[in-house]
Amino acid sequence: MSAAERVFGLLLRAYPAEFRAAYSREMMMVFRDQRRAGAGGVRFWAECGWDVVRSAPPLRVESWQSRWQMDNQLTEGAAMRKTMAVLSIVIGAIETLNALVEFRAASAVGLDTTALVIVTLGVLVGVLLIASGIVLASRSPKSQVLPLVAAIACLAVFALIPRMSIFSKMLGIGFPIALLLFLRFGRGQPTRTVA
């Protein structure tokens, strides 16, 4: 690399990193072509400098804007994830407690098989929801699978079990649907435009 190319390489540092990643090779090639065609001297370098002064700041501003928009989208996604994680843990804990209370009540009058199955399923769903909340909060790469399983299990259990209050059913069916919608649409993945 010639001294002139090294200087031009330094000038390119005025441009944002993503722009350089996309175009610096081509810009250097153009510079080499210009040099081969006889460009040089004070006027040429003044034009190069002026071109950088004119074109780099708007590209920097565009880069900051696009990064800012992306950060905002990520922040919204993170807030939604946190909300879903907290709701999942709280509802899971309520479901588990509710199942245990029902188990205690049923034990007092004699526990039949159906009641035992309902209590077991209730505890299972509650624990699954708590685990989903923890996974969602931890941003684990596997955070899709467990909440999905929990939401489907929750829906299945609460749709099938008839002995539940309307409130329990609304919570047990409404939340998994919200969780499924969040997993599908609300994970905060930015719809990124090429910067």
Partner 1 sequence: MAKATETGRTPESHLPLRPATFQILMALVDGERHGYSIMTEVSERSEHTVRLGAGTLYGSLKRLLEDGLVEEAGERSDAELGDERRRYYRITKFGLSVAKA
Nearest partner of 120 among 139, 106, 140, 100, judged by Cα: 100
Which is nearer to partner 1, 50 or 64 (by Cβ)?
Answer: 50
Element housing 48 (H / E): helix 41-109
What six digits make up the tokens of 103? 């188990």
Could you tell me if 88 and 136 are in contact, meaning their C-beta atoms sit under 8 angstroms apart?
Answer: yes
- Residue holding tokens 């699978």? 145
Q: Tell me how far, at minimum, the Cβ of 87 lies from partner 1, in Å.
A: 36
Which position among 4, 9, 23, 124 is part of the footprint of partner 1 (CB under 8 A)?
Answer: 23
Q: How many residues form the binding site for partner 1 (CB under 8 A)? A: 24
Site string for partner 1, 25-64 (x = CB under 8 A): -xx-xxx-xx-x----------xx-xxx-xxx-xx-----
Site string for partner 1, 57-96 (x = CB under 8 A): -xx-------------------------------------
Q: Tell me how far, at minimum, the Cβ of 35 lies from partner 1, in Å.
A: 11
Residues 6+ apart with CB under 8 A from 5: 28, 31, 32
- Residue holding tokens 């996604």? 77
Q: Tell me how far, at minimum, the Cβ of 74 lies from partner 1, in Å.
A: 21
With the C-alpha atoms ordered 47, 49, 54, 58, is the resulting torsion angle positive or negative? Answer: positive
Could you tell me if 147 and 176 are in contact, meaning their C-beta atoms sit under 8 angstroms apart?
Answer: no
Applying CB under 8 A, which residues contact partner 1? 15, 19, 22-23, 26-27, 29-31, 33-34, 36, 47-48, 50-52, 54-56, 58-59, 193-194
